[in-house]
Amino acid sequence: MKKSYYFIILLIIPLFIGATKKVMVREVLPVIEIEPKPIKPIVIEPIVIEPEITSLIDALIIVESQGNDSAVGDTHLNEPSIGVLQIRPIMVKEVNRILKMKGTKHRYKMSDRWDREKSIEMFRIWQEFHHNDSNYEEIARSWNGGPKGPKNPKTYSYWKKVENQLASL
């Protein structure tokens, strides 16, 4: 008896649900127009290269890669230097660290080292952060030998190559 009682209830419940659906009065809601939020563009400040530093960059490019955007150097190391300015992975990481400190969302990828324009941008970011008031020799020797480059006697011959290129530009 109990089984048939439950069976009847199961058959009747959908009828009540269906009946309530028919009786329900739909309320008409007013249409509210929502203005879309404006999309904020990602603004990457253009890197302005002063004419004074352009000659140093040109000299570094010639010394580093002879102007070859596809240059690969330091192949004896785990990670080679790539591109026109022979940028190593540690430099890409340093530039991205600087950008993060400045609150910028823009980041460089390892593949950006192949792009002349992006390589120069990375150099400028590094140079402005670490050597904004440095002379050409300090900048060039640091580019070649890292933070202690200007004090490292091994970077002096590199500086002489850069200096000779500056004189010929």
Q: What is the largest CA-CA distance in the chain?
A: 109
Domain count, the chain: 1
Contact 128, 106 (CB under 8 A): no
The answer to whether residue 157 sits within a structural domain is yes
For position 13, what pLDDT does the model report? 58
Domain of 113, CATH number, reads: 1.10.530.10
Whose structure tokens read 């230097």?
81
Average pLDDT over residues 158-167: 96
Claim: this prediction has a pTM higher than 0.95? no
The answer to whether residue 40 sits within a structural domain is no
Average pLDDT over residues 61-69: 97
The answer to whether residue 134 sits within a structural domain is yes
Boundaries of domain holding 154: 51-164
